[in-house]
């Protein structure tokens, strides 16, 4: 692991790091906030997954998570959204390729060589964090925004033994049924629609996946709400499966980090209670 930069913040340390990833075959950059409590004992880990076009820097600079993380003694890990580099496949559109990994393991060319973000987030990055930071690996949780919300929900549903809590800001809950997913899933995974279901939170629940509970915040002023996000589908899926869901429709909020930063402390408080309980 290489240290790119560090800053003192709220009694802890905000850093940016990189490492050579076996999963993606590229150099991957990520941010980690270590709270002051880590000087005394290992701390729980919260992983935040960002949305389309983002890097680690978007939430690090705009998410306003450090005060709450320091208060609760949480290590916050913020990975990139895809592999990057000159030899990494890309697309001219913002919603495919670099910056748009959809937190899946691609099986189709030209994506299969590098786009293995599910394996990276689930397996490789936690091992790197555990080897280099004072983490309590038995206490982990996950949250995300938009495409990252999709990643958080699907990873939690498929790995309930790994994550003690999961929440999301404006997640893509049913990519099979919306334009973003209808473009990305066949490109990354091929035309077998059955393979898409493992990366669709609503489909996973319909197929029997379970998680103890979810928290979702969604802005009513989000311009992606009705076409791309459709939280009512997740609400229905959770209700039919008996999964407790706190879905908060926040009046007037859009899809931006103004929205995320407003409710970030609420989410970290929610995670902290479940990580420490």
Give catalytic residue positions: 146, 222, 255
Cα distance between residue 211 and residue 141, in whole Å: 12
Cα distance between residue 33 and residue 169, in whole Å: 20
C-alpha count within 13 angstroms, C-beta hemisphere, residue 231: 23
E-assigned strand segments in the chain:
2-9, 12-20, 27-34, 43-49, 75-79, 135-145, 166-169, 214-219, 245-250
Cα distance between residue 207 and residue 1, in whole Å: 39
Residues 199 and 163: beta-carbon distance below 8 Å: no
SS3 37: helix
Residues 101 and 117: beta-carbon distance below 8 Å: yes
Cα distance between residue 67 and residue 260, in whole Å: 14
CA proximity to 128, closest of 22, 8, 56:
22
């Amino acid at each position: 692991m290489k240290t790119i930069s560090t800053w003192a913040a709220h009694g802890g340390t905000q850093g940016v790091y990189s490492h050579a990833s076996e999963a993606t075959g590229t150099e991957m950059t990520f941010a980690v906030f270590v709270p002051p409590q880590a000087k005394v004992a290992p701390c729980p880990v919260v992983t935040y997954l960002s949305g389309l076009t983002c890097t680690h820097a978007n939430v690090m600079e705009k998410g306003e998570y450090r005060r709450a993380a320091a208060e609760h003694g949480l290590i916050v890990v913020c990975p990139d959204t895809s592999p990057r580099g000159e030899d990494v496949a890309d697309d001219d559109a913002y919603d495919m390729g670099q910056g748009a990994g959809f937190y899946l393991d691609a099986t189709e060319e030209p994506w299969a060589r590098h786009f293995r973000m599910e394996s990276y987030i689930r397996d490789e990055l936690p091992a790197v964090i555990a080897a280099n930071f004072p983490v309590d690996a038995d206490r982990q949780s996950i949250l995300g925004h938009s495409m990252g919300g999709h990643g958080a929900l699907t990873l939690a549903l498929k790995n309930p033994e790994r994550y003690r809590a999961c929440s999301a800001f404006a997640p893509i809950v049913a990519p099979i049924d919306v334009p973003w997913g209808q473009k990305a899933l066949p490109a990354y995974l091929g035309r077998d629609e059955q393979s898409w279901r493992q990366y669709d939170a609503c489909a996973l629940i319909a197929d029997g996946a379970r998680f103890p509970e979810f928290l979702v915040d969604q802005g009513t002023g989000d311009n992606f709400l009705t076409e791309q996000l459709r939280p009512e589908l997740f609400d229905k899926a959770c209700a039919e499966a008996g999964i407790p869901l706190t879905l908060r429709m926040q009046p007037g909020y859009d899809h931006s980090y103004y929205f995320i930063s407003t409710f970030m402390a609420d989410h970290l408080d929610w995670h902290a209670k479940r990580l420490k309980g």
